Amino acid sequence: MAGYQALAAVGRSIVTLLNQSFREEIPAGDPRPEAVLAGPVDFDKVDTPGAVIRYPAVSVYCYRLSIDRETRPAWAAAAAQDGIPKLPLRMHLLISAWDRVVESELTWLGLTVRILESEPTLTWPGPLDGSGDWQPGDAVRIVPDDLAMDSMSEAFQAMTTDYRLCLPYLARVVRIDGRPGTTSGEVTVVGSRTDLSGAVR
């Protein structure tokens, strides 16, 4: 895996999984949240005309991307062999519930936890959105993120919205491949050389 649309495809896949499960879990006619991909600007427009987040809702917000250092060495070695750069990424997610009643928000968060814990692996072919240009057998795991309170507060300080109760999750590993033939197996080191007399050449 995967093409440059992989990150967006993972976001869409999580939203699709949640919405399908909401329909299965919640009886017809009862209030049912809609899962949406959202960003900071959407948090300031909740339940307004044209808003992405409309009550009731569950928002999935990717607030950070990071390199997956556990798998990067192996993928770098593979890239040196076939000439295709491979960058393994982690998507750091904050999942929040939106409703006019606090008890309902807690209910939606509890249901979201059950869904993600029951189906933590998105595979291709399967739940992964096809726009990611996946290969057969590709998989992305959705796991709880061990996020300190200080780190979560910092994430909200960067936004204009007030702090909200949320679930921190990780989507890993989302590997994006470069164009073929852009990686060289040779490394050239350029620098100065110092002889025994201390002179630099």
User: How high is the pLDDT of residue 160?
Assistant: 64
Q: What pLDDT score was predicted for residue 2?
A: 78
Our measurement of the distance from residue 87's CA atom to the centroid of its chain's CA atoms, rounded to an integer in Å, reads 14
Phi/psi of residue 146, nearest 5 degrees = -85, 85
Please give the average pLDDT of every successive group of 10 residues along the chain, which has 201 residues: 89 98 96 96 93 97 94 91 92 95 97 97 94 93 82 66 86 90 46 40 42
CB–CB of 99/33 below 8 Å? yes
Sequence-distant (≥ 6) Cβ neighbours of residue 196 within 8 angstroms: none
The answer to whether the predicted template modeling score (pTM) of the entire model surpasses 0.95 is no
Please give the pLDDT value at position 156: 67
Report the distance separating Cα 98 and Cα 69, nearest Å: 34
- Which residues, listed in sequence order, are joined to residue 37 by a DSSP beta bridge? 60
The helices-and-strands tally (H runs, E runs) of the chain is: 5, 6
pLDDT at 193: 41
**List of E strands, 118-177:** 121-123, 139-144, 167-177
For 167, list phi and psi in degrees, rounded to 5.
-105, 120
Instruction: With residue 62 as reference, give the H or E element that holds it.
Output: strand 57-67
Q: For tokens 């982690």, what's the residue?
A: 90
Q: How far apart are CA 137 and CA 65, in angstroms?
A: 23
Backbone angles phi, psi at 82, to 5 degrees: -105, -5
